[in-house]
Amino acid sequence: MSLYLDYNATCPVRPQAIDAIAQTLGRVGNPSSIHAAGRTARAVVEAARNDIAALVGGPASTVVFTGCGTEANALAIDSAVATGSRRLIISAIEHDSVIETAKVSGAAVEYLPVTADGVADLAWLQARLAAWDPADGRPFVALMLANNETGVIQPVLEASELVRAAEGWLHVDAIQAAGKILTDSRAMGADTLAISGHKFGGPQGVGALTFGPRATLVRRQHGGGQERGRRAGTENVAGIAGLAAAARAAMVEAIDPAPRDAAAAALKALGAVVIGEAAPRLPNTLCVAMPGWGSDLQVMALDLAGLMVSAGSACSSGKVKASHVLVAMGQDELGGCAIRVSGGWGTTAADWASFVETWSKSHSQFVARHRAPAA
Ligand code: PLP
């Protein structure tokens, strides 16, 4: 058997997106060309912009296509720094694309702590913003909508009220949330919001950033005047078409958390601990620790049994490293025994049941191998 439950790393491309990509790739045309082929390509990009605007809220003119989610996050952070933010408040559980970009942005970086359930500590944020030193420029706060490792949903609306009162800029990385829960940037008070195609059934290598009236984007990439001068480079027309097709499909469906919850209950009955269980979470994500059974051993044993999950967040080197998310939650010890199981648009209740069966079997084998010999 082969079962892929690592959607938060990347998810299968939806058939609608594959069709849209294939159709677009089959036609020539640079959206900047004024002849018929160029105009057709331009029409694809602008129709996609409308679809993405429907997903993220706000007018289509506020959607900028990027090369990935990482770039969308970086465009927001670098723009804030370029327009006068000299100190960035980054939640301690942000994705590396936010943390590492903030670190090299030239601004000072401070980390917004989270509770043991992985929820941002808004009392801390309120106190910090109240004591803001005007010499640090405009406050910039990055708070993701849902965490990629635990699925824990963050109180973005409440955070936006605090940030707005401080005349700051709130950036929301909605890359894991998009297509799974509502991601209306205007409704949640985000000044900028990032998404990425490959997390909701679009292709890899295409993302978008939307911005509100209080955010000014400053180009990071220079060259042509694409994306109204905000992001130079010929648009990835086929990728953008696939991104939009995935968004249209994701917007009309809802993921039922019940099979995930049933799986969580079955593992808990065997002694496992669900991370972030008391907090609202994405319906597709289960971060679960089994004390005594290391994450990497779990992932390898499950892989041998044909089941693909991950240990914390997948990192580019393929190595398993300590999760800064679980460390920020004070779950360092459990973190070493945690795996992330994530389904999505193609996952069925039977898949979750099959996960439980495989995991239980692998766990029994692990226990049998490590049982102390009888005295
Ligand atoms: N932000 C979050 C929360 C993510 O989960 C990811 C991908 O894992 C990214 C950003 C980076 O997105 P991309 O892979 O499109 O660059």
Q: How far apart, in whole angstroms, are the C-alpha atoms of residue 137 and residue 240? A: 35
Q: For residue range 268-326, what is the model confidence (pLDDT) as tens digits?
A: 999 999 999 999 999 999 999 999 999 999 999 999 999 999 996 544 445 556 789 99
Kindly report the average pLDDT of the chain as a whole number. 95
End-to-end CA distance of the chain: 39
Specify whether the CB–CB gap between 5 and 308 falls below 8 A. Answer: yes
Task: For CA atoms 284, 289, 294, 297, give the dihedral sign.
Answer: negative
Report the pLDDT value the prediction gives residue 319, as an integer from 0 to 100: 52
Tell how far the Cα of 373 is from the centroid of ligand 1, in angstroms. 45
358 lines ligand 1 (CB under 6 A): no
Q: How far apart, in whole angstroms, are the C-alpha atoms of residue 34 and residue 4? A: 44
Q: How far apart, in whole angstroms, are the C-alpha atoms of residue 372 and residue 245? A: 55
Report the pLDDT value the prediction gives residue 373, as an integer from 0 to 100: 64
Higher pLDDT, 135 or 320: 135
At 308 the three-state DSSP class reads: strand
Question: Which CATH code is given to the segment(s) 15-250?
Answer: 3.40.640.10
Report the pLDDT value the prediction gives residue 333, as an integer from 0 to 100: 83
Structural fold of domain 3-11+255-368:
Aspartate Aminotransferase, domain 1 (3.90.1150)
Q: What tokens were used for 371?
A: 């049982």
DSSP state, residue 8: T
For β-strands 87-91 and 108-112, DSSP reports them as parallel
Q: How far apart, in whole angstroms, are the C-alpha atoms of residue 307 and residue 354? A: 9
285 sits in which H/E element: strand 285-289
Report which protein residue has its CA nearest ligand 1's atom 14. 69
Q: For residue range 91-111, what is the model confidence (pLDDT) as tens digits?
A: 999 999 999 999 999 999 999
Report the pLDDT value the prediction gives residue 73, as an integer from 0 to 100: 98
141 sits in which H/E element: strand 140-142
57 lines ligand 1 (CB under 6 A): no
Active site residues: 315
DSSP 37-93: HHHHHHHHHHHHHHHHHHHH-S-GGGEEEESSHHHHHHHHHHHHHHTTB-EEEEETT
Q: For residue range 198-226, what is the model confidence (pLDDT) as tens digits?
A: 999 999 999 999 999 999 999 999 999 99
pTM of the prediction?
0.96
Report which protein residue has its CA nearest ligand 1's atom 5. 148
Phi–psi pair at 250, nearest 5 degrees: -65, -30
Percent with pLDDT over 90 in the chain? 93
Report the pLDDT value the prediction gives residue 375, as an integer from 0 to 100: 58
207 lines ligand 1 (CB under 6 A): yes
Q: How far apart, in whole angstroms, are the C-alpha atoms of residue 122 and residue 31? A: 44
Report the pLDDT value the prediction gives residue 322, as an integer from 0 to 100: 72
94 lines ligand 1 (CB under 6 A): no
Report the pLDDT value the prediction gives residue 1, as an integer from 0 to 100: 76
Report the pLDDT value the prediction gives residue 314, as an integer from 0 to 100: 46
Domain spans in the chain, listed from the N-terminal domain onward: 3-11+255-368, 15-250
Closest by CA to 78, choosing from 220, 223, 228, is 220
150 lines ligand 1 (CB under 6 A): no
Domains 3-11+255-368 and 15-250 share a fold: no
Phi–psi pair at 247, nearest 5 degrees: -65, -45
Chain CA centroid to CA 235, Å:
22
When pLDDT is averaged across residues 355-370 and rounded to a whole number, the result is 96
Specify whether the CB–CB gap between 207 and 194 falls below 8 A. Answer: yes
Report the pLDDT value the prediction gives residue 312, as an integer from 0 to 100: 65
Report the pLDDT value the prediction gives residue 316, as an integer from 0 to 100: 41
Least confident of 33-47, 138-152, 359-373: 359-373
Q: For residue range 66-86, what is the model confidence (pLDDT) as tens digits?
A: 999 999 999 999 999 999 999
Report the pLDDT value the prediction gives residue 372, as an integer from 0 to 100: 65
| Contact residues for 170 (Cβ-Cβ < 8 A; gap 6+) | 141, 142, 143, 156, 159, 160, 163, 164, 189, 190, 191, 192
When pLDDT is averaged across residues 119-147 and rounded to a whole number, the result is 98
Q: For residue range 222-277, what is the model confidence (pLDDT) as tens digits?
A: 999 999 999 999 999 999 999 999 999 999 999 999 999 999 999 999 999 999 99
Q: Mutate which of 145, 196, 285 to test ligand 1's pocket (most atoms within 8 Å of Cβ)?
A: 196
